[in-house]
Amino acid sequence: MARSASTSSRHPDSTTKDISVTHEEYADEKEDQNLVYYPNRWAEWREYLREPFAEFLGVAILIIFGTGVVCQVFLSANTGVSATPRGDWLALNFGWGVGTAMGVWVSGGISGGHINPAITIALATFRGFPWKKVPIYILAQVLGGLVGAACVYGNYYHAINIVEGGVGVRTLSTAGLFSTYALPYMTNVSAFFDEFLGTVVLTIVVLAMGDRRNMQPPSGLAPLVLFMLVLGIGASLGMQTGYAINPARDLGPRILTAMVGYGKQVFTFRNHYWIWCPVMGPILGALFGAFVYDAFLYTGDDSVINKPNAQARRRNLHAQSTQRRQIPVADEIV
């Protein structure tokens, strides 16, 4: 009876433990075991934040290089800032190319290295990227653009004051250092097409890079391909609109300029030019580019265009079932 009573007093999960183990000791041991799986709350939260933060950091790096080179080239043209100009149009294109490559290098292995809301939306529409991730990706991308632009603005604050002619004087002439504004002769329709075309080319090449049945670059060399791609787009198509080809690249810095003294003029320029050209142009261009590539070149069934429909799936299942019935079993072979 005594042995039976002692055994029954054990904790339900402690059948292999000594009967002298108290409930307090058992609870401490269970807590220690839990620490193996959940080191701390931050580690748990970090798993949810890794992908959005990778997108945030990737865009911030893109903008630091990109708007940084724009500020250096144009501000150094003023003799009050620099005795000699520091850079030219080629330097601008190199800066944006390096920014894209470095941004993707930092984020690619964690979030896929979209660093562009237009690419994120295109992948969600055509390649099965989860729509539930799209809003947080876009938010992270835009915030990355804003923070990256803030870093560059702080870095070149005094030079901007010299070029503007006074502390706190802010006009669209220097707002264009951070976000895109079309040349005066461009109509909004022409500017829209310019952004649309550049993003179509960007998206087609990005999808070709990820296509295993095409000439996929060796592992780790995608940033180099993107460097050459953005360099080429800038050198060929960049003059007229500043080749945003990325809503976060334009919208994040544009919000920053509105916050630091440029005011609402950055949004009211040309009847809200910012919506139709550097935001909607790239989004629609990416969707069109993805459609063209998937409709005519891509053969993977992860695309909505190539995904088998219900009837095709039923035919495939029927064929597999018929094939299995035709294979003789071991008894029939004997």
Please tell me the predicted confidence (pLDDT) of residue 2: 43
Token pair for residue 296? 């005519």
Question: pTM for the full model?
Answer: 0.82
Report how far apart, in Å, the C-alpha atoms of 276 and of each of 55, 160, 192, 263 are: 24, 28, 6, 20
In the prediction, which pLDDT does 307 show?
Answer: 82
* 237 domain residue, yes or no: yes
**Measured between alpha carbons, how far is 240 from 257 in angstroms, rounded to an integer?**
21
Distance from C-alpha of 191 to C-alpha of 186, rounded to nearest angstrom = 6
Examine residue 207 and state whether it is found in any structural domain, yes or no: yes
Q: What span, in angstroms and rounded, lies between the C-alpha atoms of 283 and 134?
A: 13
219 is a domain residue: yes
Range of the domain at 82: 47-296
Give the span between the Cα atoms of 222 and 187, in whole angstroms: 35
Extract the residue ranges of the chain whose pLDDT is less than 50. Answer: 1-21, 26, 35-36, 38, 329-334
> Is residue 334 in a domain?
no
**CATH code of the domain covering residue 226:** 1.20.1080.10
Q: Has residue 79 been placed in a domain?
A: yes
Say how far apart CA 94 and CA 114 lie, in whole Å. 20
pLDDT of residue 29: 54
Q: Does some domain include residue 15?
A: no
User: For residue 7, is it within any domain?
Assistant: no
Classify residue 23: in a domain, yes or no: no
Work out how many domains the chain is built from and give that number. Answer: 1
